[in-house]
Amino acid sequence: MTTLFPYDLTPLLAELGHTFQDSALLQAALTHPSVGGGRGVKKTTQASPYERLEFLGDRVLGLVIAQWLYALYPLEAEGELAKRHASMVNRDALREIAITLHLERFIHLAHDDTDFSRQNLAVLSDAMEAVIGALYLDGGLLPAENFIKRHWGEKIHESATPVDPKSALQEYAQGKGLPLPIYRVMERSGPAHSPSFIIEASVRGHEAVSASGASKREAEKAAAQLLLSRIGQI
């Protein structure tokens, strides 16, 4: 049974800068699997259009960013380009762009999914990838590339190579002759499709701090970032 898409997508289409020939593609990119009983329940053999578009959009974003970085930084080694690339395509970056588009207003969720948060990092980042996948399928690489370059432009022109907070905290500890940072899971909550973790980060000689995230890795990064700030390294 087909579910009628409940939102007017006109404002979002203006932000995307593309007129869809097949509007069902964009609707699929914004219809979370929870609507059809997908994520968080027993898997079936039925494919999720949302997840398939998310898979495609991830690859399209990665290609566009990789080619863009290759052209912008002709003197940088592969390792430095890889660091820049990782910072541009991770969930934090995707969520930031999704928020600027107010994408949370257009994501179709199951009505009875009361534990689900539209601000959830995974939801916004996954939907952003799915939208990029829909742009690519409907119009080819050009509209997807135009959209990415318009919204990722400020990030890609950062003068310094981005440093992962966990790597920065580890380098700080090693530079001071201290043991490596320790990360501990303090709490895990939420349903399977929308978990939340609280992680404590500590370095010898400094007070431990805690931060939350939609995955252990994201919570660890947030805690490392907070600890670096407390130490005075950022």
Catalytic site positions: 58, 129
Asked whether the beta carbons of 57 and 132 are under 8 A apart, the reply is yes
Q: What DSSP letter does each residue of 67-118 carry, written as one string?
A: HHHHHH-TT--HHHHHHHHHHHHSHHHHHHHHHHTTGGGT-B--TT-TT--T
Burial 104-126 (b: 16+ CB within 10 A, else e): bebbbbbeeeeebbeebbbbbbb
* 75 phi, psi to nearest 5 deg: -100, -5
A 10 A CB-CB count for 50 gives 28
Which of left, alpha, beta for 226 (phi over 0: left; psi -120 to 50: alpha)?
Answer: alpha
Residue 158, Cβ neighbours under 10 Å: how many?
11
